[in-house]
Each structure stands twice: as structure tokens, then as C-alpha cells.
Structure 1
Amino acid sequence: MLKTYKIYISGQVQGVGFRPFVYNLATKHLIKGSVSNDENGVVIYATQTRDNIKLFYEELLKNPPPVSHILASEIKPTNFFKFDNFKIIPSSKNGNINLPLTPDFAICEACKTEINNSTNRRYNYPFTTCVNCGPRWAITQSFPFERNHTSMDMFTMCDDCEKEYTNPGDRRFHSQTNTCSTCGIQLHLEDTNSKKITINISITFKKVAQFLTDGKIIAIKNTSGYLLCCNAEDSEVIQKLRKLKNRPNKPFAVLYPSLEKLQKELKLNELQVKSLTSKEHPITIISSENYQGNLVLNEIAPKLNQLGVMLPYTGILQLLANELDFPIIATSGNIHGSPIISNNEDAIEKLKNVADYFLHHNLKITQPQDDSVLKFSFKFKQPVLFRRSRGFAPNYFGAQLKSTEKIIAMGADLKSSITFYPNQYIYSSQYLGNLENYDVYNRFIAMVNSYIKIFEQQPQVILIDKHPLYHSSEFGRDFAKKNKAKLIEIQHHKAHFTAILGDHNLFKKKVLGVIFDGTGYGDDKAIWGGEFFNYEKNKIKRINHLEYFDWLLGDKMAKEPRISLLSLATSEMDGILSVKFTPNELKTYKTLKTLNRLKTSSVGRLFDAVASLLNITDYNSYEGEAAILLENLVTGYNIKNCKSYLNSIEKGISSKEIIKQIAIDVKKGKSKQKIILNFLFTLANTIIEMAKTNNYKYIAFSGGVFQNTTLVDMLIELVPKEIKLYFHKDLSPNDENISFGQLMYYIHIKK
């Protein structure tokens, strides 16, 4: 007997080929009816026998499209309706959006094959996509995900593309990003005077490859923003790029033409290969030890024994890679500190003194994104997300909330992100940058406005950091006042803690929170950064912290590790300090130290002090440089040979004692690697001992310090079986997670 059922599917099910998948599956099971998108996901009406519909529904859930993400489904009988066939019908929107947005996907193998096939009509077409790949969030203007809700709407499909779009047997059946060279996005190469280099598209990439070979810098507009590219085997051009981009030491990412080429030159493990070839295609940080190739390693990643590498993830990059037999630098198209550029005119204006040539196109990028960055720890292969952006943003799937309030969290300033909760889902934006930069601040404001426009929801609650001078907090205060919304201030490290609690849904457990980072405005107006919290029954209590030391010279302290050393040094270290400061500086700074009342518990500054004491660096040219260089000297370890610089934690965790003991080892002539391992062991051992002493069964970690993968490995190795450790899995441990943590704090913590 024929029956009609209504099926709801929610999750990441728009812009992923879900409707064409349902159409073909329905045809297979002889089902008649319809499928459409709405504001909640996908709606299916199906008429057939009960058994046929059951098989159809089971297969639908078991084998959905590869880039979809089903979060919930429902099937229920409805009034019988006799359909003539099964068809895809246009999206209807009868309310506010209540579904995940769709991130960008790396080019799939099928599309890659087509652009490389001289007999295929998409041969050499750089914007080849299908239902399984291509830009999504980068071109989103509104939702549901239909072509007329994206910047693709300006391109009208030609007859051939229309045939694919309407053919149920085609991979591009109802692909909203479908275009070809006849009807699609136009690419053109220009010099710095905006003079077009009029060459056929088929040889454009040969020309770009030749420019790169010749030592030129090319600004390439990718589908999520501009990249600045040059030959990664050419020392002179890389030094030139560093100077022009104002980026003296921060490592550059390297784009390899192929996985095969990469594996010939660098050793990869299985997880790294999986990461590099995933649908996100992030930059993956790997060891450059035993490197076999021609990369100028020290120019690419000064003083580091690791490299951030990636593979082509768009048609543009793949077609360029086809013409290259060497890796290239592929770094964000901006001046250091500014946001990634996505607009043609902005690129010409801001990069004309950096790039020798521009490869532009005429697709509007509405949501610019940097490349995401991931690293695996050496010993235990623990993944650590350094930057959450393209491919991961703007969804967060790991937490389900039930609040009816519309909430926006403004995050922190240094590694800005925004988290919006307008419906049943959580939306955490891509990494935006440092709000000290005017252009980054404007992009931050644009991101807030973009969320409000897409979801057509005005926030009722505004969450901000407690720091009185954060730009994000000042904006949040003004926003709340103008919109008559509730304003809540949340302490920085408590937001970090609730971010990791939310990342693993630990709100029903008693948890020790360990939050180590550089800076955060504390409840007692000190600068926190080495915090231990207890979480239990929806309450957070600070139970311990790194012993306070002097916070000197404001932001200058974070930029000059030698100042952290001066703050922690005893009088016996005057000889060490005299080499790092002029007599006048030393006199002035010591006077400031005696008068200073601002204190800090920052583990980030403790790392800086150790780096300075070991003569690794006295100045940071980029955020976290000292800590990165410090870990870089570790090439392996045996934990049995490590010792702690603290005898007991009963009297507190003394950073001054740690520095004192390290100074003794320096005097004894111990190697830097040995001292660094002992230092990291001291931190790891202290955390585990504190948990054991206070009978914790769960420890959760957050804060930028836990990007140190050696420290992460040591914690995993030291922890007894009865204690479970939690590191971030879907978020970065750094300040990118603050906005998400603010939301978790507001929802879960009793005030």
C-alpha cells in the first residue's frame, strides 16, 4: 500500500550536493515526491510503500554525500499525496535561518582530473567545481544556499552548464557553483600599472610559472583571498618579500606542486598526509629534519626545524602547480598585521609595491579567509589547530545549546574571532587577526554585520572580555547600548576554560582547568596567564596560579623577552642582564621594578624569560616567537632523563624559582635542549602533581601555551591511567577560542 512520508534532515546539508543525492536515491527506490531546501535544512516528501521508504531513509542516513554532515533527522507519515515523479523544487524560506552554514571545500579528485584532461571542456578552467568541492562560505551573501544567495549569481550558466545542472546523472546536478570558461569567472594577468598581459588562458599559468622561475613576486587572487607567491628555492626573492611585506622572521607557508614531490623531499606520517589531502587542505606543520631538496629553509622559516606546507586546494593553484617543478611560497596577501585582501582594487593599492604581477579574477569574495594551520605532536600525534579558518569556519558542531536568547560573543583582541548563537546552532567565525590593526578592526565589524544580515536576527545578549581597553569590548559596549541589549563581561581565562569544557561537553564533571597563555585581564586587575581553575556543578573557582611577578612596560614586555627575564631575575643574574641592556636602560628598568605594582602570572612571559636567559632571543618580531624558537631546539627526549626545577608545589608555583634553577644549570654548562626539556617537564609535572594531590580525574587545557606540542606530549606521557586529559579538538587553544568560551560561560556558569 502506498504511503506518503515527510522527512526532515538538518545539519551541513546545503551546498553539499544533498538534493541531487536524494533525487537519485529516490529514483533508485522508485519513490515519487520532492526534495527542497528551507531555513532548517532539507525537506523530503516521499510516496511509496512503507518498506521502500524505510530502505530509502536508512540508505540516505548511512551514505550521505561526502562533504555533508547530518546532525539530526526525522521521518513521519503525512497526508497521502500522489506525485507524478520525483523532483527538486526551489528553496523556500518561511522563517529565520536555522541550519549550519557551509564551509569551503578543497578541489575534489574528479574536478582535478577534468581540468588536467585536454579533451574535457573544463580543461584549464581554474574555477571548476561540483557538488563535492569549491567555495561556499567565501561567496555566501545569504541563505539557504542557492546560487542567487551567493556572489556566483552574476554568472549566468551557458546551455552546456545548464544541461549538467538539470541532469540527474551528472556530478553537477543542482551544483550552485557550476560554471565553465564560456559562462564563468574570468581570470587575467596584469602588471603593477594595471596593464593586462593579453595572453590566452591556456598559457596564463605557464607565464606565471615563468615569472616565478625568474624571481618575481605574484599576487594571486585565490577563491578565499589573495596569496603572495614566489619561488621557495630562491633566497633573494624571499628576502625581498620579507622586506616588502614587513615580515622579518615569521615563517612562510610553502605550497608544493604535488604530494609526490613533497614526499620526495620531506618525511610525512599518515596523519599528516590525511590532513594535507582532506576536504579542508590546511597548512600542516611538519619537521624539516633530514630535508632532501632545494628549499632555502632558513629564509622560509628562520631558525626553525619545521615547515608549514600545503597542497593545491583550488583549480587556480592546481593549474599553476601543473606548470611548476619547484615549491612556492604562498603567504597571505597582505602587509604583515593587516587582514588578507580579497578585493581587486585593494590588492592593487596595497600590494603594488610588493608584487611584480597580479593574477586577478572577477568573482566577488564576500567572506575572505586565511588558510587554516594544523600541527601534530611528535610523539603521540595529538592534533593542535593553530589557526581555524578556511575549510573549518564558520560552523561549530561540537556543542548543542538550548537557550532561546540571541547571543553574540565578541572574543578577544589579539587573535580575534566572533561567535554567534542566533538559533539552534553555533557559528564561530574564521580567524580575523589583531584588532590593533585598523583594517582588521573594520573586518571584525563587517563580520558582526554579516552574521546579523544572514540570520536576520538582532542579538539580545552581548558578551565581551573583561579587559577595559580591548577594542572588541569597547565595540561590544557601544553595540549593546545602541541596540538596548544585555551586556555581560567575562574574564579572559574563564572563557578559555569554558571553551575547552564546551569543546568536550564536560559540564557534568568535576574538572581541573589549566589555562596558560600570555596575557588576560584578571579579576584582581593583575595580568593573568598561568591559571588553575576548579569546575564543578556549573561553578568556576580559581584555585591556584603561577606566583606573581612584575609586569613591566606594558605591551613592550610581550615584545621583548629580555624584560620578562629582568622581571624574574635575582641580583646574581646582573652579569647576564648587563649584556642585554645598556647601563642606562638597566638603571631605569630596575627603578621601575621597585616602583611597579602591576603583577602577572603569565606563563607566556615565563617562556619569554627562559628564551632570553638561554640567549635564544631577546626580541619578538612576531607573536610567540620566543616560545616557538625555544621549542624548536627540542629534537626528541626521554622523559626519564628530565628533572623538575620545582621541588614542591605546596608553597605555590614559583616562576622565580624556575628561572633561578635554570640559571644554575646554565652556569654548569648544561645544554640548551636539556634545560628546555627540564623546563617543559617542570610545567607538565606540576600540572599532573596538582591533579593527583587534589584528586582530579579530568584535566582540561586551553591557552596559547598549549600550542607547544612537546609540552602536550609530556603531559600525555606523564598522566596516570586514572586521569583523563582534554585538549582542544575543534578549536585552537589560543585566543581564537575566547568568543566560543564566552558563549559557553554565559550558558553554563552560575553567576
Structure 2
Amino acid sequence: MLKTYKILISGQVQGVGFRPYVFGLANSYNLTGTVSNNEEGVIVYATGNTSNIFSFYNDLIENPPKVSKIQTHTISETEIKEFLDFQIIPSQKEGKLNLQLTPDFAICDDCKQEISDSDNRRFQYPFTTCVNCGPRWAITKTFPFERAHTNMLDFNMCGTCQEEYSNISNRRFHSQTNSCPNCGIQIHLTDAEGVSLNIPKASIFKEVAALIKKGHSIAIKNTGGYLLCCDASNKEAIKTLRLKKNRPNKPLAILYPSLNLLKDHFEITGYQERALTSSESPIVIIPKGNYKGYLMVDDLAPNLNQIGVMLPYSGILQLLANELERPIVATSGNVHGSPIIASAEVAKTELNRIADYFLHHNLEIAHSQDDSVIKFSPEFDHKVIFRRSRGLAPNFFGSVISDETILAMGSHLKSTIAFLPNDYLYISQYLGNLDNFEVYNRFTETVSKFIDLFEQNPTVILTDAHPSYHSSQYGKEFAKNKRIKQYDIQHHKAHFASVLGEHNLFESDAPILGVVWDGTGYGDDGQIWGGEFFRYQLNKMERIAHFEYFDWLAADKMSKEPRLSLFSLADEEIEGHCSKQFSKEEWKVYKTLKKKNTLKTSSVGRLFDAVASLLNICHNNTYEGEAAILLENYVTDYSIENCKLYCSALEHSQIPTKTLLMNLYEDFKRGASKSDVIVNFIYTLANLVFQVADLQNLNHIALSGGVFQNTMLIDMLKNIAKNDYTLYFNCNLSPNDENISHGQMMYYLNIKQS
């Protein structure tokens, strides 16, 4: 007896070849019916015998398309429907959007093969995609994910592409981004003045490669925005790019043409290789180690023993790699501090002072994105996300339920927004530092785009408690204008809540220690927090300990000048050591400022800065977090068994910050090497976590904040914890301020309202 069942599937199921896959699978089980996208995911009506339908359903759920991620699925019998066959039917939107959005996917091996095959009709066509790869979020205007809802609408498929699109046996069957050289996106090469070079299309990438080999820099419009590229083996080209981009020391990302060449030059682990070749294809930070290549590694990543590498993840980058067969610099196309540029008009204006040539294309980018960045710890291969963007945003895979429509404005540095308009939580790609006017504009545009996309205005606005953060000011003004509720969430409590939310720990019976260490955050007592310990249990969070306060001097200047952190913490003896880093006039001003100062901080981030300055490693940061990065990179090897403590936790709720620094200084004076001092410093910090845990009788520990991007610290924590403690870190979000918007959401839903 024939029956009809309705199947609903939600998650990352649009733009991933799900409907074509369902079509083929349904036919293999002799079912009739339909499959379509809707505002909630994929909806299937299947008619056949019950046994076949359930076998089809189980097969679909257990073996979905490779880039899909199923979140929920249901099957229910419905009234019998008669179908002549099984069809993919046009999507019908009957309500508001309620599904996960689809991130961009790296070019697949099949498409790579086609664009490199001179006998293939897509030879040298840089926008070759299929159901398994290509841009998604970058070109999305609205959902459900159909060609008409993307910027591919501007390109009508030719007869051959349409035939592929309609052919069930073709991997481009219902591929919404399908195009070819005859009907697709066009590229053109210009000089810095915008004058087009008269180059045949088939030779453009050969010409770009030749220009790079000659030492020129090229601004290349990729799938998520412009990249600035030059020869990574040309010292002068690198120096010129750094000078023009005002980026003197910050490491530059390197695009390798192939995994084989990368492995010839560097030793990489299985974890690193899998990340590099994944559908997300992020930048992966790897050790320089015994480098065996010809790159200017010290110019690409000055003073560091690590470097960020990636593989071609788009047809554009793959075709360039085919012609170059050598690594190139591929850094974000922007001016210092500004967001990545996606518009040709803006690029011509802003980047013509940096790039010698431009490679443009005419596909509009709806959501510009930087490359995501990750790193694995050396001993335990613990993954740390440094920047969550292309390939990772904007979905959050977790359980979030609320009757309210909530918009969390996030932090100020490394800003993101989080939006909860339905059954899913969406967290934007990394946006940047809101002190920059262009970043602030990108931030406000992102807020508007999310609201428009989901056709819902928020009913609650969440902001950081810092009154001067631009995100907080914008959120409060937004709430005031819309006459909706607005709540402040303390910065470090949001960090802690982000980890609790990622690991679904809010309902845990066991009390949890929260350790939040970063550079800065406005505290409940009006001081600058950054070295905090919290206790969470039964929807209550309280601060139980912190690093001893020291002077917060010269406002934001302190985060840019590690010498000020050292001066703030210094006793008379250390003052003598650090005074030579200041002019006489500066010394006089800062001595006076220190005497009159009332604003204090517990920042572990600034403590890292002080140690870096004390050891004469870094006195002034040229990029955010430089001192802390240099500290970690100073160590090449250590034995945890030989480490020693510079201080112990106190029972009166304070870690003796100054004692720690003084003992460290004494060790350095006695002749301990810089490397040994740094190892002991990190070991002391790791040990303090467990000392506080023991004082509080806690063995579940959640850790967040930018300090926990230090992979040596993470490995030490895991070494000490063994099986006696359970550690929780941010895993799908960065531990830095990118997770604040998520943490604000988690705090509001689980603590603020309790």
C-alpha cells in the first residue's frame, strides 16, 4: 500500500547540493514526490511503500552531501499524494526565514581539474563551481538559496550550462552558481590608473604571474574581497608592500600553489593538513621549523618562529597558482586598519597607492570576508580560531531558544554581531576595530543586512557595559529609536558565558570556574578588568578572584606601548631598568601621572606586555598583541618538569601581580635565559588557574579571552590538568573579542533573566 510522508530537514542544507542529492536518492528507492527549499530548510514529499520511504530517509540522514550539516530532521505521514515522478520544484517562501545560512566553500578537486585541463570547456575559467564548492554567503542577497536570490542573477546560463543544470547525472545538477566562460563572470586587468591592459582572456593569469615575478604587487578581486599579492620570495617586493600598506612587522599570509610544495618547505601535522585542505580552507599558522624553501620567511613574519599559510580556495587563486608555481603573499586588500575592500570603485581609490596592477571581475560581493585564521597547539593539537570569517561565518551550531528577537552588538575590537531572529543563532564574520570609520560603517551595514535578510526587527538589544564602545553607543541609540529593551552585559562575563554556551553547560549541576584573561574590559566596579575568575552554578555568575590591580595609564596608549605596562607595575629597582625606554620629558610626565592615577586594571594582557618590555623583547607594539605573540615565539622548546613558579594564589581573592613580576625580574637578574623566564611565566599563569580551582573546590574550568590564543599556555593547562580537571575552551568561536556578541546572547538568555 502506497503512503506519503513529509520530511523536513534543517541546518546547513541549502546551496550544498542537497536537493539534487535527494532527487537521485529518491529515484534509487523508486519513490515519487518533490523536494524544494523553503524558509526553514529542505522539505520533501515522498510517496511509495513505507519500507522504501524509511530506508530512503535513514540513508539521507546518515549519508548527506559532504558539505551539508544536518541540525534537525523529522518525518511524518501526511495525506496521500499522487505524483508521476520525483521532481525538484521551485522554492516557495511562505513565512520568515528560519534556516542556517550557507558559508563559502573552497574549490573542489573536480573543479580544479577542469580549469587546469586545456581540453575542458572551463579551462582557465576562474568562476568554475559545482554543488560541492564555490561562494555562497559572499553572494547571498536573501534566502531560500536560489540563483535569483544571489548576485549570480545577473548572469543567465547559456544552453550548455542549462543542460548541466537539468542533468541528474551531472554534478552541476541544480547548482545555483553554475556558469562558464560563455555566460559567466568576466575578469579584466588594469594598471594602477585604471587603464585596461589589452590582454587576451586566456592569457590574463599568465600575465598576472609575470607581473608578480617582476616584483609588482597586484590587487586581486577574489570571491570575498580584494587580496594584495606579491612574490613571497622577493625581499624588495615584500618591503615595498609593507611600506605602502603601513604594515611594518605584522605577519603576512602566504598562499602556496600546492600542498606538495608546502610539504616540501615545511613540516606540517595531519591536523594542519586537514584544515588546509578542508572546505573552509583557512589560513593555518604553522611553525617555521627547519624551513627548507626559498621564501623570505624573516621578512614575511618578522621575529616569529611561525607563519600563516593557505592553499588556493577559489578558481582565481588556483589559476594564478598554476601559472606561478611559487608561493605569494596574499594579504587582505585594505589600507591599515580598514575593512577588506570588495568594491572595484573603492579599490581603485584606496588601493591604487599600494597596488601596481588590479585584477577585477564583475560579480558583486554582498558580504565581504577576510580569510579565517586558525592554529593548532604544538603538543595536543588543540585548535584555536584566531579569526572566524570566510567558510566559518555566519552560522553558529548550537542550541539557542528564545521567544524574543535579540541582537547582540558585541565588543569594540575584533567586533562581530549576533542575531537571534528565529530558531537559529547567526554570528557575523569578523568585522574589525570600530575606532576605524570604515569598519564602523561596515558594522552598521551588517546590522541592517541581518535585519533585512530575516525581515525582523529586534525586540531586545544587548551591548557591552563599556559606555565608550561605539558598538554600545550604537546599540543604545538603536534601542532608543525603536523603543525596545536594551541591556548591558559585562565584558568578561560575556566571555565566560560564550564558553558555557558553546559546551551547553548552563544546565550543569556541577559548579564551574570561569577564567577570563584578556587586555581590557570595563568592570562592574568601574575599573579595567582583564584577569578574572568567576564561579557559575544554577544560573548565577559571580566574580570570585582577580589579578591584583595596577595603574591603568594613558588610556588606550597603554595597550600600544608595553613599556607603560612595565612602568605601571615597576618598583623602584625595575623603574631603573625601564627608565631608558623613555625620554626625560616622558619620564617626568608619566611619574606624575602615576602618582595621581586612580584608574586601575587587572589585565593579564598588559602583564604579558610588561614581561615583554622587561625582557627587552618589545617596548612598542606595531600591531595588536605583538608583544604577547613575540613572547610565545621566543620559546622553541621546554620541559614542564623543570618549570618553577613566580607566585602563588592568595586566599583573599587576589593574585599578587606585582609579586609575580618582581620574582620574574629577580630570576632574570640571576642569569635565567629569556626563554626560561617566559616558560616559567606561562607555567605560573597555568598553575594559578588550578590553585584558584583548588581553593574554590572546583574541577570544571571554562577559559576564554584573548590570552587563550597562546597555544603554549593551552598545552601547559592540559598537561597540568591531566584527568583531575575538565577544561572547556572556545572551540567554534575565537577566544578573543569576536565571541563577545555570542557571550552577550548566552548571558542574557541564561543568567540575566533568571
TM-score (norm 2): 0.99
* Partner Cα separation in structure 1 for residue 565 and residue 371 of structure 2: 32
Distance in 2 between the 1:69 and 1:750 partners? 31
Provide the residue aligned with 1:692 in structure 2: 694
Match of 2:44 in 1: 44
Structure 2 residue matching 1:58: 3-state secondary structure: helix
- Report the counterpart of residue 61 of structure 1 in structure 2: 61
Q: State the superposition RMSD in angstroms.
A: 0.8
Matches within 5 A, 1:277-676: 277-397=277-397, 399-509=398-508, 510-651=511-652, 652-676=654-678
- How far off is 1:197 after superposition? 1.1
1:29: which partner in 2? 29
C-alpha distance after superposition, 1:408-431 (max 9, x if no partner): 000001100000000000000000
**Aligned-pair CA distance for 1:29:** 0.7
Displacement of 1:585: 1.5
1:551 partner amino acid? W
* Aligned residue type for 1:305: N
Q: Quick one: which amino acid aligns to residue 51 of structure 1?
A: S
Aligned mates of 1:200, 1:12 — CA distance in 2: 39
Letter in 2 for 1:536: Q
Q: Which residue of 2 aligns with 1:735?
A: 737
Could you tell me how far 1:584 is from its partner in structure 2?
2.2
Moved more, 659-668 or 534-543: 659-668
The worse-fitting range, judged by mean Cα deviation, of 33-42 and 685-694 is 685-694
Structure 2 contact 648–691 (Cα < 8 Å) conserved: no
CA offsets per residue over residues 614-635 of structure 1, 9 Å max, x none?
A: 0001000111000000100111
- The 2-side partners of 1:402 and 1:309 are apart by 38
AA at the equivalent of 1:495: A
Shift of 1:260: 0.3
The amino acid across from 1:3 in the alignment is: K
* 2:128 maps to amino acid: T
Report SS of the residue matched to 1:535.
Answer: strand
1:720 offset after TM fit, Å? 4.1
Q: Could you tell me whether the CA contact under 8 Å between 2:651 and 2:695 is conserved in 1?
A: no
1:87-137 alpha-carbon deviations (Å, 9 max, x no partner): 000000010000000000000111111111111111111000000100000
Q: Kindly tell me the number of residue pairs found equivalent between the two proteins.
A: 750
Deviations 1:156-215 (A, max 9, x none): 000000001111111001100000000000011111121111222221111011001000
Q: State the Cα distance separating 1:54 from its structure 2 match.
A: 1.0
Which stretches of structure 1, 4 residues or longer, exceed 6 Å deviation after superposition?
A: none
State the secondary structure of the residue aligned to 1:749.
Answer: helix
Task: Show CA shifts across 1:677-733 (max 9, x none).
Answer: 000001000101111222212100000000000000000000141310011110000
> In structure 1, what is the equivalent of residue 708 of structure 2?
706
Residue 149 of structure 1: aligned partner: 149
CA contact (8 A) 2:373 2:387 kept: yes
In structure 1, how many angstroms separate the alpha carbons of the residues matched to 2:235 and 2:333? Answer: 20
Look up the equivalent residue of 1:356 and give its one-letter code.
D
| Partner residue, 1:241 | 241
Note the alpha carbon deviations across 1:431-467, whole angstroms, 9 max, x for none. Answer: 0000000000000011000001110000000000000
| 1:325 shift after superposition | 2.5
Structure 1 residue 47, shift from structure 2 partner: 0.7
1:6 alignment counterpart: 6
TM-score by length of 1: 0.99
SS at structure 2 position matched to 1:384 = strand
Measure, in 2, the Cα distance between the counterparts of 1:737 and 1:507: 17
Q: Give, in whole Å, the separation in 2 of the partners of 1:456 and 1:515.
A: 36
Q: Report the Cα distance in structure 2 between the residues aligned to 1:236 and 1:750, rounded to whole angstroms.
A: 55
Deviation at 1:586, TM superposition (A): 1.4
The alpha-carbon deviation at position 666 of structure 1 amounts to: 1.7
Q: Which residue of 2 aligns with 1:267?
A: 267
Q: Which residue of 2 aligns with 1:20?
A: 20
Partners of 2:203 and 2:656 lie apart in 1 by: 63
Task: Trace 1:85-96 onto structure 2 (pairs within 5 A).
Answer: 85-96=85-96
**Residues 221-230 or 685-694, more deviating:** 685-694
Q: Give the equivalent residue in structure 1 for 2:110.
A: 110
Q: Is the 8 A contact 1:649 1:686 kept in 2?
A: no
> Where does the alignment leave 5 or more consecutive residues of structure 2 unmatched?
none
Q: In the aligned structure 2, how far is the partner of 1:211 from the partner of 1:687?
A: 53
Find the aligned partners of 2:98 and 2:651 in 1 and give their Cα distance: 51
CA distance in 2: counterparts of 1:722 and 1:254, whole angstroms: 40
Task: Give distance in 2, aligned partners of 1:316 and 1:472.
Answer: 35
Between the aligned partners of 1:734 and 1:22, the Cα distance in structure 2 is: 40
Decide which moves more: 721-730 or 260-269: 721-730
Amino acid across the alignment from 2:674:
K
SS at match of 1:395: coil
Quote how far apart the aligned CAs of 1:750 are: 4.2
Deviates more, 1:582-591 or 1:633-642: 582-591
**Amino acid aligned to 1:425:** Y
Range with greater deviation from structure 2 (571-580 or 69-78): 571-580
Native 8 Å contact 1:373 1:387 kept in 2: yes
Counterpart residue type for residue 107 of structure 1: I
Using the alignment, how far apart are the partners of 1:367 and 1:458 within structure 2? 20
The Cα shift of 1:659 comes to 1.1
Question: Per-residue CA shift, 1:629-671, capped at 9, x if unaligned?
Answer: 0100111211010001004533531111111111111211210
Query: Take 1:36 and 1:707, find their aligned partners in 2: how far apart are those partners?
Result: 42
Letter in 1 for 2:447: V
- In structure 2, distance between residues paired with 1:666 and 1:541: 37
Q: In the alignment, which residue of structure 2 is the partner of 1:213?
A: 213
Q: Whole-Å Cα distance in 1 between the matches of residues 274 and 228 of structure 2?
A: 26
Aligned partners of 1:355, 1:648: CA distance in 2, in Å? 53
Secondary structure at the residue paired with 1:66? coil
What letter matches 1:424 in structure 2?
D
Q: CA deviation at 1:543?
A: 0.1
Residue 514 of structure 1 aligns to a residue whose secondary structure is strand
Structure 1 range deviating more: 283-292 or 574-583 = 574-583
The SS at the match of 2:148 is helix
User: Per-residue deviation at 1:283?
Assistant: 0.1
| Secondary structure, aligned partner of 1:396 | coil
Q: Does 1:744 align with 2:746?
A: yes
CA distance in 2, matches of 1:647, 1:30: 70
Give distance in 2, aligned partners of 1:176 and 1:306.
39
User: Residue 655 of structure 2 aligns to a residue in which SS?
Assistant: coil
One-letter amino acid matched to 1:388: R
Q: Which amino acid aligns with 2:46?
A: A
- Give the superposition deviation at 1:82: 1.3
In structure 2, C-alpha distance between the alignment counterparts of 1:505 and 1:6, rounded to whole Å: 31
User: What is the Cα deviation at residue 575 of structure 1?
Assistant: 2.2
Q: Which moved more, 1:692-701 or 1:347-356?
A: 692-701
Shift of 1:62: 1.1
Asked if the contact 1:413–1:472 (Cα under 8 Å) also holds between the matched residues in 2, the reply is yes
SS at match of 2:183: coil
Letter in 2 for 1:569: A
Q: Which amino acid is 2:645 matched to?
A: S
The CA distance in 2 between the partners of 1:636 and 1:454, in whole Å, is 50
Where 1:554 maps in the other structure, the secondary structure is coil
Measure, in 2, the Cα distance between the counterparts of 1:706 and 1:62: 36
**Mean alpha-carbon deviation: is it higher for 192-201 or for 490-499?**
192-201
